[in-house]
Structure 1
Amino acid sequence: MNPNQDMSILSLIVHASIPVQLVMALLVVISVMSWTYIFSKRATLRRTQRQTDKFESDFWSGGDLTMLHHAVATHRGEHGALARIFESGMSEFLKARKAHSDVPVVLDGANRAMRASYQRELDALDRHLAFLASAGSVSPYIGLLGTVWGIMHAFVGLAGMEQVTLAAVAPGIAEALIATAIGLFAAIPAVVAYNRYSHEVDRLSMRFDNFIDEFLNILQRQVR
């Protein structure tokens, strides 16, 4: 790199060595994907929380469970994750009650149906969180790789100089450090989002789990 050239960020990126530019490009792709998942996951969790609040309000309002089941089964996509868990359990309960008179068998079928639905809903809520975790943990190291390569390249370029000055070393080191900066820029939002969204998923998981237990108690009273 020419020590007299422009030291702006854009100029440093343009004149960086090819491996460092490839590292920067990879980090930019990771950052764009992370922000895409961050915004989409935020919208998903907000919608799920709103639908869960609405369904719990309808469920505990004291209305007829059969009518609520029919409404949820008719419009499964509109009522949210908790409603689908309820619909799975209620459907299995109604079928098992017709086929068996044994209370434990009936309740066990409803429980297994709700647990299976519960796991599917959690898997959907967890989608892309693993990518955010990986981006947050790996991006700084990818940036560091670019930095190490850039600094090595800068010092190799100085090997033939008779007199080495700070002005000659600074541009090469600066372009290398940009890779680390981009790595941190990609990692920090991913880590923050992963921690926050994991906590929100855990809270929803506890709400779903508590609902299953409470709903089973209601079903048990109905079959006695």
Structure 2
Amino acid sequence: MSVFALIINASFVVQLVMLTLLAASVVSWVVIVQRGRLLNASRAQLLDFEERFWSGIDLNELYRECQQKPDPSGVENVFMAGLKEFSKMRQQNSTDPDALMAGVQRAMRIAITREAEALDTHLPFLATVGSTSPYIGLFGTVWGIMHSFQGLAMVKQATIATVAPGISEALIATAMGLFAAIPAVIFYNRYASRVERQVSGMYTFADEFASLLYRQSLKLQHNSKTDAVRKVAE
């Protein structure tokens, strides 16, 4: 009546259900560990970049540093997208602050969307495992109990010793379903919340960066008007 013996002696369908749940559990833990490391690194990179950004460093120098990295972080990609769009529109002699900001914000929103998709990768798998594993385990339980009752039809006298193995092997499938589902649900909810906070942090940085660029664009517009008046006066 050991657990291992019950699994070995279970019917083929129940064994297949158990194998499926075991595989789902293993893959879920791989995703949990991988996503956890990624989110921790992403959060640390966001804080480090914001500290460096507000330290007073020249934006062009910071852009070159980010560009030289083999794998820039999410917030660095947002920063580079915004500054690149700002420089491109300036080269096109666009000095209208509203037009500049519209282009910059659009570029940063696209970058944030891409980073959010990267952070969300594999999280739907955890949600799927968390929602379907109990039902898969329940299917194995129902099938095992059906198989157990079919065996009772061939016995003249039913006893607990006759029924117990079949029901026990069936309940193992439910237990394995819960074993796979519970961690998946817990970590999906936790990681989804962390991704939301991370994306919110990138949006906050994008708004602050856009405000800084907007002030700079107003200054450029003022300088261009001053130069134009000076040329007319001359």
State the TM-score bracket (shorter-chain normalisation). Answer: over 0.9
State how far apart, in whole Å, the 1-side matches of 2:29 and 2:106 are.
37
Structure 1 residue ranges without an equivalent (≥5): 1-6
Q: Which residue of 1 aligns with 2:225?
A: none
- Tell me how large the CA RMSD over aligned residues is: 0.9
One-letter amino acid matched to 1:84? N
Q: 1:18 is matched by which residue type in structure 2?
A: F
Match of 1:44 among 31, 35, 38: 38
Give the Cα–Cα distance (whole angstroms) in 2 for the partners of residues 140 and 161 of structure 1.
32
Give the alignment's TM-score, normalised by structure 2. Answer: 0.91
Rg larger in 1 or in 2? 2
Q: Distance in 2 between matches of 1:163 and 1:70?
A: 83
Give the alignment partner of residue 151 of structure 1, picking from 145, 156, 160.
145
Contact 2:96/2:217 (8 A) holds in 1: no
Give the alignment partner of residue 117 of structure 1, picking from 111, 116, 125. 111
The alpha-carbon distance between structure 1 residues 98 and 70, as it changes in their structure 2 partners (threshold 3 A), is same
1:77-96 matches, cutoff 5 A:
77=71, 79-96=72-89
Q: 1:9 is aligned with what amino acid? A: V
Give 1:1-224 correspondences, 5 Å limit.
Answer: 7-75=1-69, 77=71, 79-99=72-92, 100-224=94-218
**Paired residue type of 2:74:** A
- Paired residues of 2:131 and 2:181 also in contact (CA < 8 A): yes
Kept in 2: contact 1:151–1:172 (CA 8 A): yes
CA contact (8 A) 2:140 2:174 kept: yes
Aligned residues of 1:76 and 1:84 also touching (Cα < 8 A): no
Q: Secondary structure at the match of 2:111?
A: helix
Query: Structure 1: which 4+ aligned runs deviate by more than 6 Å?
Result: none
Task: For 1:149 and 1:121, locate their aligned partners in 2 and report how far apart those are by CA, in whole Å.
Answer: 44
Q: Distance in 2 between matches of 1:81 and 1:35?
A: 24
Displacement of 1:111 in angstroms is: 0.8
Q: Which runs of 5+ in 2 are unaligned?
A: 219-234
Q: How many aligned positions are there? A: 217
Contact residue 150 and residue 172 of structure 1 kept, 8 A: yes
C-alpha separation in 1, matches of 2:3 and 2:170: 11
Q: One-letter code of the match for 2:208?
A: E
Letter of the structure 2 residue corresponding to residue 175 of structure 1: E
Quote the Cα distance in structure 2 between the aligned partners of 1:55 and 1:158: 68
Q: In 1, Cα distance between the equivalents of 2:201 and 2:26?
A: 32
Structure 2 equivalent of residue 4 of structure 1: none
Q: 1:105 Cα shift?
A: 1.5
- Counterpart code for 2:182: I
**% identity of equivalent residues:** 49
8 Å CA contact 1:150, 1:175 repeated in 2: yes
Shift of 1:101: 2.1
Cα displacement string for residues 53-112 of structure 1 (whole angstroms, at most 9, x for unaligned residues): 1100001112111111111122151x4110110011001101111111222221111111
- Corresponding residue SS for 1:61: coil
